[in-house]
Structure 1
Amino acid sequence: MSHSSGFSYAFADLQQLSADVLAYARKQGASACEVDVSEGFGQSVTVRCDAVDTIEYNRDKGVGVTVYAGQRKGYASTSDFSPQALRDTVEAALAIARFTAEDDCAGLADAALMAKDCPDLDLYHPWAIDVAEAIDLARRCEQAAFAADARIDNSEGASVSSQEAHFVSANSLGFMGGYPTSRHYISAAVIAGESEEMQRDDWYSTHRDARQLLAPEIIGRTAAQRAVARLNSRQIKTGDYPVLFEAPLAAGLLASLVHAASGGALYRKSSFLVDHLGRKIMPDFVQISERPHLPGGLASASFDSDGVATRDSEVVTAGVLARYFLSAYTARKLGLQTTGNAGGSHNLIIEPGALDRAGLIKQMGRGLLLTEVLGHGINYVTGDYSRGAAGFWVENGEIAYPVEEITIAGNLRDMFAAIAAVGNDVEVRGSKQTGSILLNKMTVAGA
């Protein structure tokens, strides 16, 4: 695998550092050990009102060591790759392990579950962009926003960022894997003004491969159109209405599902989905899959942070919760098998329906199109959901006017059951892929 000259360490160096840590931990009496060695670097520029606002370079590296002394666990980390620092880190982790309580669920995952090979998932696309070019892209992005509408009178800036990293994960069961990754983005946030009123909005594009990013002009123009559309917002009367979560927000509903169905929340009994495996939580047409091996996927991975091989699986089939998201540790706590989700979900995809955003607005007829939510009002124990919101009031299947200073409230259990349609207007920006999601009803508190 070729590496750009940008890394200070060759991949083989990271493998050697991992092997050295494991050998030293064994020598010091650890019964098991896992180690992660990583290095990353990148640059970000921000242009604001056509002037260069910030230029940032980042470069970091780190080693994280987890050791086990029987059923006791200790963790320590360092950013120093010298042999002495690595030995000190192993010793610090062991010292911590000796003072922690025994935990009968502690330990590495089963050797049989470890990833045997690392298929190339096409996650590494260095972007040879120098600072001058990045500034030019950011300027073009922001200028397109200002040119899109005379009411765009200020900007929070346009940014261009390029990041590369590589890592090795290894443990004392003989597992060693790793690969390089990249992630790039272009974003713009602008402010529209009319008489006394001001509204802001933003847009961005992110990919492993910079060639797949939206053109900076499209990003700037979209941010501008979104900000202008929000001018002359008003409140609406309190009531129960259908609510359409536009695609970027709909990903948040999937994130809530992952959180509630994750081992940590389940074994602590702090989730409304405790004991819901095999139970219907959504309508029949809802299919949610995990696809960890998508080429170029923003959350693709051939193994999880336990070193366990990832594999394609169905999370929700015909509305039924088919599995949880478990690491080796949380699986033991629940008396189940790990699902290869130590560290989170990998490319969660909800099957799109036939309609785009405009089609869903038409289907909704009358209700609220949601484009922004604020605050963190989700209680995962009960499922209660309440957040500040903004968006558009829809009347007769058309957007009537912008809405702000409202609160949407419901319960995730009811919200999942109330999914009426999933759009095909998918925005791929992270680990969750979904179109807009229409819910039959939520309580909207306004004037």
Structure 2
Amino acid sequence: MVKDQEYLRNKASYCLDLAKKLGATSASVSVGHSISESVSFRNKVLDESNRSDNLGVSITTYIDKKKSSISSSNLLDENIKTLIEKCIETTKITPEDEFNGLPDKNLLANKIKDLDLYDQSHIENDKKIEYLKELETATSDNDKIVNTESGFTENKSNFILASSDGFCEGYKTSSFTASCVAVAKDDKSMERDYDYTSKCFLSDIKSSSHLAKETREKTIKKLSPKKIGSEKINIIFDKRIASSLLSAFAGAISGSAIARGTSFLKDKLGEQVFSQNINIIDQPDILKGLGSRPFDSEGVKTETLKLVEKGQLKSYLVDTYNGKKLNLKSNGRCGGTSNLFFENGELSFDELLKSNSKLIYVTETIGHGTNLVTGDYSVGAAGFLIEN
């Protein structure tokens, strides 16, 4: 069971009071507790069972425009006192930076919405093992499947974020994740593919039979691949690739990259950067959303951002520090995005396939060939050539 809010609040208050007494002009602190339990299988045999229990504190102290941070997993009062003393001493000798400081008070979250991010349910290891046995047995229900690996992980966490400006809020989160990797073989080739399910609530994850069917079918479909010649051709990305595309895009519009001038999207606000059919949204208030959060890692309230609208770049991801550099207000993205996604288009998947006489449906990319300075994107790809 993770530590309750009262315990974490008391530790956070102790840290802030002590930091002020020891000379900090302002301070912020995050106190968190997380528990993770995982089980993994390989070829229907138990491979590993792990449990981690992490309790930690991270403290940032300011003396005017000087700043330093320190963290520890030892939350005894005497250790925290030593920790803050060292942090204050480091702050004193750190060069001033005019952009250092806590967020504006009027940007802080003051009404914390319950986003239903925590499931009280707990699945014992024997139940995890039972799920994985069923998963691998069902995945192997074809002679072409020669190898399987699977895993089940349960995470629970609770934290408090507090600052000397009076902010003190936190919330619990949970996640349940099951995954399966399969290897298929025929006379011509051996191929690998996977599927997974991850939700905040245990009752929402895919059944073992469903996950097995998806993994098995995806893997077998990849057998006996052929190379094609070089040509200019339309492509459709499978939805599994969206996360890597969006991650690269988020890096290119991060406040730090824009402020440093290391992004090809610097000075591109309001300009067309995608097809007019593309909308990209970051929505932090989705109920039971794995990335949902009522505030960012500075306590700034989060709201839905339409980052790209009809292909035009509408916003950067801005925190307090880089916002000051760019003369922009923080939009609650310290720590990155929340639930970032491409908005559904007007055409269905089948309609997209029929809209081209010849295209490649890309189901996997290989490598990390994204250059955020130039905007070049070059990766290996595997998928299906679809004609007529």
**What's the TM-score bracket when you normalise by the shorter of the two chains?**
over 0.9
Say if 2:151 is the partner of 1:159.
Answer: yes
Equivalent residue, structure 1, for 2:317: 325
Cα separation, 1, equivalents of 2:45 and 2:246: 38
Equivalent residue, structure 1, for 2:278: 286
Say if 2:361 is the partner of 1:351.
Answer: no
Work out whether residues 184 and 210 of structure 1, in 8 Å CA contact, stay in contact via their aligned partners in 2: yes
Q: Secondary structure at the match of 1:391?
A: strand
Equivalent residue, structure 2, for 1:198: 190
Cα separation, 1, equivalents of 2:368 and 2:263: 16
Q: Where in structure 2 are the equivalents of 1:334-373 lying within 5 Å?
A: 334-373=326-365
> What is the deviation of 1:196?
5.6
Equivalent residue, structure 1, for 2:125: 131
Say if 2:92 is the partner of 1:98.
Answer: yes
Cα separation, 2, equivalents of 1:351 and 1:225: 27
Q: Which residue among 210, 217, 226 is the counterpart of 1:225? A: 217
My pick for the range that moved more, 353-362 or 68-77, is 353-362
So what's the TM-score if we normalise by structure 1?
Answer: 0.84
Cα separation, 2, equivalents of 1:282 and 1:142: 41
> What is the deviation of 1:195?
2.5
Cα separation, 2, equivalents of 1:37 and 1:143: 42
Q: Which residue among 7, 14, 18 is the counterpart of 1:20? A: 14
Work out whether residues 4 and 158 of structure 2, in 8 Å CA contact, stay in contact via their aligned partners in 1: no
Equivalent residue, structure 1, for 2:39: 45
Q: Secondary structure at the match of 1:185?
A: strand
Work out whether residues 126 and 164 of structure 1, in 8 Å CA contact, stay in contact via their aligned partners in 2: no
Cα separation, 2, equivalents of 1:42 and 1:112: 36
Work out whether residues 246 and 371 of structure 1, in 8 Å CA contact, stay in contact via their aligned partners in 2: yes
> What is the deviation of 1:66?
0.8
Work out whether residues 31 and 68 of structure 1, in 8 Å CA contact, stay in contact via their aligned partners in 2: yes
Q: Where in structure 2 are the equivalents of 1:219-258 lying within 5 Å?
A: 219-258=211-250
Instruction: Give the letter aligned to residue 369 of structure 2.
Output: G
> What is the deviation of 1:46?
1.1
> What is the deviation of 1:325?
0.5
Please list the CA deviations of residues 325-378 of structure 1 after superposition, one character each: whole Å capped at 9, or x if unmatched. 000011111111111100011212322124343332222331211111122111
Cα separation, 1, equivalents of 2:86 and 2:214: 51
Instruction: Give the letter aligned to residue 222 of structure 2.
Output: R
Say if 2:75 is the partner of 1:81.
Answer: yes
Instruction: Give the letter aligned to residue 244 of structure 1.
Output: I
Instruction: Give the letter aligned to residue 19 of structure 1.
Output: S
Say if 2:86 is the partner of 1:112.
Answer: no
Please list the CA deviations of residues 374-412 of structure 1 after superposition, one character each: whole Å capped at 9, or x if unmatched. 22111111001111221111111xxxxxxxxxxxxxxxx
Q: Which residue among 36, 44, 59 is the counterpart of 2:53? A: 59
Count of aligned residue pairs for this structure pair: 388
Q: Secondary structure at the match of 2:364?
A: strand
Please list the CA deviations of residues 136-178 of structure 1 after superposition, one character each: whole Å capped at 9, or x if unmatched. 001111111101x2100111x1111111000000111000110
Cα separation, 2, equivalents of 1:391 and 1:290: 28
Q: Secondary structure at the match of 1:338?
A: coil
Instruction: Give the letter aligned to residue 208 of structure 1.
Output: C
My pick for the range that moved more, 343-352 or 329-338, is 343-352
Equivalent residue, structure 2, for 1:170: 162
Cα separation, 2, equivalents of 1:374 and 1:102: 43
So what's the TM-score if we normalise by structure 2?
Answer: 0.97
Cα separation, 2, equivalents of 1:37 and 1:359: 50
Say if 2:100 is the partner of 1:140.
Answer: no
Cα separation, 2, equivalents of 1:363 and 1:205: 31
Instruction: Give the letter aligned to residue 377 of structure 1.
Output: G
Work out whether residues 271 and 382 of structure 1, in 8 Å CA contact, stay in contact via their aligned partners in 2: yes
In the alignment, structure 1 segments of 5+ residues that lack a partner are 1-5, 397-447
> What is the deviation of 1:254?
2.0
> What is the deviation of 1:227?
1.1
Q: Secondary structure at the match of 1:163?
A: strand
Work out whether residues 188 and 224 of structure 2, in 8 Å CA contact, stay in contact via their aligned partners in 1: no
Work out whether residues 74 and 95 of structure 1, in 8 Å CA contact, stay in contact via their aligned partners in 2: no
Q: Secondary structure at the match of 2:379?
A: strand
Q: Secondary structure at the match of 2:277?
A: coil
Q: Secondary structure at the match of 2:318?
A: coil
Work out whether residues 139 and 158 of structure 1, in 8 Å CA contact, stay in contact via their aligned partners in 2: no
The structure in which a higher percent of residues are strand is 1
Q: Secondary structure at the match of 2:140?
A: helix
My pick for the range that moved more, 167-176 or 92-101, is 92-101
Cα separation, 2, equivalents of 1:392 and 1:96: 57
> What is the deviation of 1:320?
1.6
Please list the CA deviations of residues 232-271 of structure 1 after superposition, one character each: whole Å capped at 9, or x if unmatched. 1121101211111100102322222211111011011110
In the alignment, structure 2 segments of 5+ residues that lack a partner are none
Work out whether residues 246 and 357 of structure 1, in 8 Å CA contact, stay in contact via their aligned partners in 2: no
Say if 2:167 is the partner of 1:150.
Answer: no
Please list the CA deviations of residues 168-227 of structure 1 after superposition, one character each: whole Å capped at 9, or x if unmatched. 001110001101100111110010011362111000010001111111111112111111
Instruction: Give the letter aligned to residue 268 of structure 1.
Output: R
Please list the CA deviations of residues 278-314 of structure 1 after superposition, one character each: whole Å capped at 9, or x if unmatched. 1122233322222211111111111001110111232
Q: Secondary structure at the match of 1:68?
A: strand
Runs of 4+ in 1 over 6 A off after TM superposition: none
Say if 2:283 is the partner of 1:304.
Answer: no
Instruction: Give the letter aligned to residue 66 of structure 2.
Output: R
Q: Secondary structure at the match of 2:132?
A: helix
Q: Secondary structure at the match of 2:300?
A: coil
Please list the CA deviations of residues 45-74 of structure 1 after superposition, one character each: whole Å capped at 9, or x if unmatched. 112111111111111111000111111111
Aligned sequence identity (%) = 31
